[in-house]
Structure 1
Amino acid sequence: MVCCKLKIMKNALSMKKQRAIHLLQIMLLGWVCFTFTCFQGPAVTSGRRRMLINSTKRVAATSTTESSACIVPEPICAMKQDKAHLWYHIRRYGYTINIPRACKTDKGRLFLLVFVISDPNDFKGRALFRRFCGNIKEFEKKEIKTFFFVGQAITGTETRGHYNITDESKMFGDIIQADFIDSYQNITLKTILAFRWITQFCPSAQYILRCGHDVFINYEEVVKYLCNISATGLTSKLFTGDRHSALSRVWRNPDSKYHQTLEQYSAERFPAFISGWASIFTFDVVYLLHWASSGKHLFIEDVFMSTIAQEHNITLLHNRHFLQWSERWPKATGELVRRLKCRLRRALSIHGAPQNQDFWRFLNNTVKRKDNVCK
């Protein structure tokens, strides 16, 4: 009798184990199906429902859909709810301003998409960029398109900011606005959503330059650089910019805007990473970073993207022509002026130049001047 009871209990445990394995197989199959065939992209929505999802200092991201709220299977989405402040990037987000046919081109593939990560209230910065950088639509028969990617303005400036940016969008037709709260704390989410938009609406782009709103881009030199590397056969797996060496210390000071909790990033030092203010990718890398990001919880943006890339055997390529603005440059004299101008003319991007028309005009005139002083 005892043996029979033991046998029955053993069979029951075996059946439970089989059911658990079967459920796990279904979840894994759903994930594989979703990753490779089932994604439909975030729908454009007119409503804007907001939900606070972080209990720390993080300004909330938002979700605009109630059903199918995640881009991953619902069982996986449910598993992440207890740490939603680290996983809110797996939710679907809509667009309050969108240009679905933005990348349409008569040339088959768009050569270069410049995607500027902008503050919704930074009208001055966008105006400077359009005037001194983004007015170039073609160079050496290579088509270029430029767009600004923004979120929703933080409460208090939201109404004014929203209506102004709507008017600005109608005037210039170059703004994409996603439905999340735009803040520095949400910069990783912002880049993920930018890559999500590119993956869905601009798959024809051969190269993508992603930069911040305070970055001067030398379009002509960028196109020359990309043409040169394309001629060498480097048409995929490109991720280049200002590469920082490994072992930078993680910021633990809560007052720092770069602060990372142990929950966000447990190691004491960062690996090598490409600085987030400007970087260039081939489309396959943007596609990879977008999809792979749904399997990793959020932490500081440039390290987050670089870590995913290295985990998938993408080399972080340093480019010395990604420059940081220096306060010493305007004070240069004599031979230093000649060397500085040559350096600026070869620059692909310059980060942190004062948002002042005189400075940007100086940069623009310097990089475009055609003489033999730098030959």
Structure 2
Amino acid sequence: MPKPPPPPARGATQNALSARFNLPAREVDGEWLDAREALDDAPPPLRTSVTVERPRTIITRNNSPDIGFDRSINPYRGCEHGCIYCFARPTHAYHDLSPGLDFETKLFAKPTAPELLKKELAKKGYEVRPIAFGTNTDPFQPIEAKWRVARACMEVLAECSHPFTITTKSDRVTSVLDILAPMAARQLVSVMISITSLTPEIARTLEPRAPRPEKRLAAVRALADAGVPVHVSIAPVVPAITDHEIEHILERAAEAGAKGASFLPVRLPHEVAPLFRAWLDAHFPARAGKVMHIIQSIRGGRDNDPDFFTRMRGQGPWVDLMRTRFNIACRKLGLGKEMTVLRTDLFRPPEGDQMRLF
């Protein structure tokens, strides 16, 4: 029997639960599904649901030696963009949900985030460091248009002159230009936009609900024109599928006004690896074996390398070639590789019940 087609406009082709936490497999009433499919020409599209999450704190801390920030804010859990390679997918398993389709369709929003942020910034002895948005799931995924949690948090940071960075693959970041432009003038913000492919057919399956690449390039231009330092991230580079586009992406990024760029070979931690393999079988069956062979050569013979430093860089001749091509293109185009240094000396704690005198 042939495999059913993948769900339309979704990244994952399956919804298997994680075996790492001994979660029970879901049972589906097969007879009911058979009856439904007999009546309908096609199954209905998967709908996105949003559940309110009420965390106790909103700033997440990390001490990883190969990550350039020590704190971040994630307004949402799960991501409707549905990028098949997303390393954040396994986090859904902690909620007895699948890192597959559940990660893309069963989302969590944190509407109390701005109030929690104010409390944390007001704590005595708070030490200022740039706060990173978009390090786990995208702060400007589609539900931000309704919930506006990311914007509300950024308004708090703007009020306090607190530095922050944004990583996104959405042109919706331009909706907060009124916040970003004044902060950029004071060296308090920078933005990184992820562009993995300029080929529409690849982007539609690799990142099915993310804005198309041309919209992201337009966002780069809008940010640059507003004086916001913007970098482009080719993350991830998928060998034998998107690696041929490195120079073209960098060229378009430079034309749009990007100050710098970076790249990251694809990572496949935990449940991401089988999801990615299933995606390859569905969309690139003729080259699936080749792709995985190259990925394993980059990752020390495994689907994924979890070790610090090498997990971000990869190893072997394939990555060496990617890096050489990337470096040559950046030098030719005048693109830097270092992120903008942000000021931390302008911070003022949030106002309490009593207004500031000055």
Instruction: Report 1 or 2 for greater relative contact order, CA contacts < 8 Å, sequence distance ≥ 6.
Output: 2
Instruction: State which structure, 1 or 2, has the greater radius of gyration over its C-alpha atoms.
Output: 1
TM-score by length of 2: 0.27
TM-score by length of 1: 0.26
Higher strand share: 1
